[in-house]
Amino acid sequence: MISGERTVTVPAKPYLTDLEASVEQLVYVREDEYTVARMSADGLPGFVASGRTLAGVQPGETLRLSGEWDEHPRHGSRLVVRQCERVIPSSVRAITLYLGSGLIRGIGPRLAHAIVSHFGQETLTVVDTEPERLREVVNIGVARQAQIVQAWAEQKEVAALMVVLQGFGISPLLAAKIYQVYGDDSRGVLVSAPYRLIGQVRGIAFHTADRIALRSGVPENSPQRIQAAVLDRLEAAAARDGHCFLPMPALVAATASLVEQEENLIHRAVDTLVAERRVVVESSPAGPGQVVYAKEQHGREIALAAHLARLARARSTLPLRVFAEDEGLHEDQRVAVNLALTSTVSVLTGGPGCGKSHTVRVIAATVRAMGGTVTLTAPTGKAAKRLSELTGLPAMTVHRLLTRQPEPEEGTLFQQSPAQADLVVVDEASMLDLQLATRLTAAIPAGSHLLLVGDSDQLSSIGPGSVLADLLRVQEIPRIRLTHIFRQAQDSGIVRAAHRIRAGELPALPGRGGFWFEELDDPGQVAERVVHLATEAIPRKQNIGADQVQVLCPMRRGTTGAVELGRRLQERLNPARQDAAEHWSGPSVFRVGDRVMPIRNNYDKGVFNGEIATVTAVNPQERLVEIRTDDGESVAYSFGELDELTHAYAISVHRSQGSEYPFVVAPIVAEAGGVMLRRRLLYTLVTRAKAWVVLVGQREALELAVHRLGHRRNTGLALRLTLCLAAEPEERPGALTAP
């Protein structure tokens, strides 16, 4: 039986064909695109349909469905959909639902009711063929009519794209993204130049474009196809492993495996890409052989080395040369202060509890006392805020330093362009990727001091490169590591555990004083326990809100991954409400009150990767989600841009870098071989907590993480910088081999 406005009897032989129904609400969307939706149809006013063929459907759409009925323990009778086709709604109710659902920007439920009341079943014909008649409806003027007509045309084109994509075996979820980039040219690009989609449309990598190309008749050994595969392998190595280049043999083997073609064709494709200046081939920095860079990574690496060499060689603008006052510092802190004041480029490293922040405060205070200017900065908003709290001085993100020029205010550090201060301090420098470091160093004038502060044992940046680690390999760059653990930090279980992990030793278990390990073997039980701790046990025991507890995950996928745990936490902390709007974007649903995080820098919006924000509005009529960042700024995302946001209920350890949370709960399970469980990841995870970190999972997984070292990223920065510093000032070596 199906419950709804009235009781409906499901046929004894329940196979249905050509059932036309309207989508009322999305209930659930899985990452593999399996979708559950509430539907309504003539004679079936309320029922549930499910299946992967429903991928991409939106509330308000009318579908022709084929499938079979079964009994679900939660939803009761449901239609398991085998085939799904979008159709134009025909009944007055379906048209009203369609227009009022937000699918057509500019029309809300009230206006939809007014339009359909006026035109009845002819409404969509009027919109399509006589749009000027829309002005017969109250509250529709010329501007609103134009907005509706444009939105209607876009919706029709996106629907047509969905049909084309389904013919290629591609998810219809990508249709709106393709249209956003190519507009009316979208179908032509799909057929004639599918590899253009790679890198230009979010969510489309080589596999998707290749499927379209092959089904369009592109030969498997096409040079166009193999060149796209070479670029894809370089991009994948940068995105997945942080590599700036790949050795030629590794690139050729990876590409050959991807396209199943002979290696001589791969070499030929690389030669063509070199001739077109899309990749660069150089001698290997690690020995004989060649390496291959994507053009952008190669250019950034050369530029960063040149900027660092320029800064390191320059005459200092600081009025002070040697620090001599007693500030109650440990001896290695005093050395660090003198180093920062006498070297135009220097590095300060050390683990938790070793006094890095206090050392920075003394350095900044000394420079200011002598009349110099100081800018404190960090890669993320959380890290900048934490730096400000620890030093008592203003701090900003690197992105805002580069994009904003604050008006001078009496008593602030920023009396001029922040990047032009006498001393620029970058905290959490292990998070600097190649691109951000290049932009930062380019903005700093010669004579300013650049001090990079970070923990070299933490994870490297999310983006490609390992800037901090590379600088530590250049002997000419002054550096110091703080090793003395201060007494107040020695009492912290977090600090003790972190230093044991850094040394490759298992922390004392189960732990005490801020560190605790709870052993469970089954991943499902681990997930349940993590959710319970984060939402109930810790908030109740510590008398705090659940927003003070952050779940961190070594992996993104799996039972204990960030995606699944985030979904569970959202349903526990911010479930769906009948009176509140929500919007599904792929497998993610956005609701007012959700904690979210941008995962891409968006300079137009002024938001950056890693910031935390809260959803303040979901507006189906304008197809917008509004967020407010922790800095208090309001930003709007269109529904088509929501893949730039991820929910922050559970996040990866990588995305937690630079942040600190009062309480951290994390699953430690060797799912899928535990490929992400490595010492740097565990060390970074543990050091994100201020009061307590609770690890839940398998002891053998914890031991695996402690003892397994990560890979070293393929970069050439250390050698390039060494060559730049050894060359004459007017020279600018570009190649990895010495002149």
DSSP code string of 75-116:
TEEEEEEEEEEEE---SHHHHHHHHHTTSSTT--HHHHHHHH
Other CB atoms within 10 Å distance of the CB of residue 370: 13
Which of 61-75, 268-282, 329-343 bottoms out in mean pLDDT, i.e. has the lowest? Answer: 61-75
Which of 66-70, 244-248, 264-268, 375-379 bottoms out in mean pLDDT, i.e. has the lowest? Answer: 66-70
Given a contact cutoff of 8 angstroms between Cβ atoms, the answer to whether 456 and 323 are in contact is no
Q: Please give the average per-residue pLDDT across 556-576, as a whole number.
A: 94
Q: Is the pLDDT confidence value at 567 over 80? A: yes
Q: Please give the average per-residue pLDDT across 687-695, as a whole number.
A: 95
Question: How confident is the model at residue 410, as a pLDDT?
Answer: 38
SS3 (DSSP) at 460: coil
At 718, is the pLDDT very low, low, confident or very high (cuts 50, 70, 90)? very high
Give the whole-angstrom CA distance, residue 109 versus residue 107.
7
Q: Is the pLDDT confidence value at 697 over 60? A: yes
Q: Is the pLDDT confidence value at 409 over 60? A: no
Q: Please give the average per-residue pLDDT across 698-705, as a whole number.
A: 95
Question: How confident is the model at residue 671, as a pLDDT?
Answer: 81
Question: How confident is the model at residue 334, as a pLDDT?
Answer: 92
Q: Please give the average per-residue pLDDT across 670-695, as a whole number.
A: 89
At 407, is the pLDDT very low, low, confident or very high (cuts 50, 70, 90)? very low
Per-residue pLDDT tens over the stretch 199-215? 888 888 899 999 999 98
Instruction: Give the percent of the chain with pLDDT over 70.
Output: 92
At 1, is the pLDDT very low, low, confident or very high (cuts 50, 70, 90)? very low
Q: Is the pLDDT confidence value at 433 over 70? A: yes
At 521, is the pLDDT very low, low, confident or very high (cuts 50, 70, 90)? very high
What predicted TM-score, i.e. pTM, was given to this entire model?
Answer: 0.86
Mean residue pLDDT of the chain comes to 87
Question: How confident is the model at residue 320, as a pLDDT?
Answer: 60
Question: How confident is the model at residue 431, as a pLDDT?
Answer: 92
For the ranges 73-87, 232-246, 280-294, the one whose mean pLDDT is highest: 232-246
Q: Is the pLDDT confidence value at 403 over 80? A: no
Residue with the two structure tokens 């810790």: 538
Question: How confident is the model at residue 7, as a pLDDT?
Answer: 41
Q: Read off the tokens for 684.
A: 């970074």
At 13, is the pLDDT very low, low, confident or very high (cuts 50, 70, 90)? very low
% helix, strand, coil for the chain, step of 5: 45, 20, 35
Give the whole-angstrom CA distance, residue 412 versus residue 416.
10
Per-residue pLDDT tens over the stretch 438-447? 999 999 999 9
Q: Is the pLDDT confidence value at 563 over 50? A: yes
Phi, psi for 608 (deg, rounded to 5): -140, 155
Which of 8-17, 220-229, 366-375, 481-490 bottoms out in mean pLDDT, i.e. has the lowest? Answer: 8-17
Question: How confident is the model at residue 16, as a pLDDT?
Answer: 57
Q: Please give the average per-residue pLDDT across 271-282, as a whole number.
A: 96
Q: Is the pLDDT confidence value at 405 over 60? A: no
For the annotated binding site, the residues are 353-357
Q: Is the pLDDT confidence value at 473 over 70? A: yes
Strands 650-652 and 549-553: parallel
Considering only residues 286 and 453, tell me which one the structure prediction assigns the higher pLDDT.
453
Given a contact cutoff of 8 angstroms between Cβ atoms, the answer to whether 671 and 662 are in contact is no
H/E stretch holding 250 = helix 248-259
Give the whole-angstrom CA distance, residue 66 versus residue 53.
10
Which of 245-259, 551-565, 637-651, 725-739 bottoms out in mean pLDDT, i.e. has the lowest? Answer: 725-739
Question: How confident is the model at residue 339, as a pLDDT?
Answer: 93
Q: Quickly count helices (H) and strands (E) in the chain.
A: 25, 26
Given a contact cutoff of 8 angstroms between Cβ atoms, the answer to whether 48 and 72 are in contact is yes
Give the whole-angstrom CA distance, residue 452 versus residue 717.
16
Separation of CA 485 from chain center:
34
Q: Is the pLDDT confidence value at 525 over 80? A: yes
Question: How confident is the model at residue 411, as a pLDDT?
Answer: 38
Q: Please give the average per-residue pLDDT across 262-276, as a whole number.
A: 96
At 18, is the pLDDT very low, low, confident or very high (cuts 50, 70, 90)? confident
Per-residue pLDDT tens over the stretch 2-12? 333 334 444 44
Residues with Cβ < 8 Å from 531, sequence gap 6 or more? 565, 568, 569, 572
Strand partners, 284: none
For the annotated binding site for ATP, the residues are 353-357
Give the whole-angstrom CA distance, residue 424 versus residue 222.
50
Per-residue pLDDT tens over the stretch 582-610? 999 888 999 999 999 998 878 788 787 77
Q: Read off the tokens for 209.
A: 């474009």
Question: How confident is the model at residue 319, as a pLDDT?
Answer: 73
For the ranges 83-97, 109-123, 262-276, 478-492, the one whose mean pLDDT is highest: 262-276
Considering only residues 285 and 326, tell me which one the structure prediction assigns the higher pLDDT.
285
Residues with Cβ < 8 Å from 61, sequence gap 6 or more? 22, 23, 86, 98, 101, 103
Given a contact cutoff of 8 angstroms between Cβ atoms, the answer to whether 345 and 308 are in contact is yes
For the ranges 13-22, 174-183, 503-512, the one whose mean pLDDT is highest: 503-512
Given a contact cutoff of 8 angstroms between Cβ atoms, the answer to whether 339 and 358 are in contact is no
At 324, is the pLDDT very low, low, confident or very high (cuts 50, 70, 90)? low
∠ CA(507), CA(511), CA(514), 5° rounding?
105
Q: Is the peptide bond before 59 cis (omega within 30 degrees of 0)?
A: no
Considering only residues 688 and 31, tell me which one the structure prediction assigns the higher pLDDT.
688
Q: Is the pLDDT confidence value at 673 over 70? A: no
Question: How confident is the model at residue 575, as a pLDDT?
Answer: 94
Question: How confident is the model at residue 608, as a pLDDT?
Answer: 76
User: By CB neighbour count within 10 A (0-12 exposed, 13-18 middle, 19+ buried), where does 181 fall?
Assistant: middle
Give the whole-angstrom CA distance, residue 150 versus residue 131.
10
Of residues 287, 288, 295, 301, the one with CA closest to residue 270: 295
Which of 4-13, 282-291, 334-343 bottoms out in mean pLDDT, i.e. has the lowest? Answer: 4-13
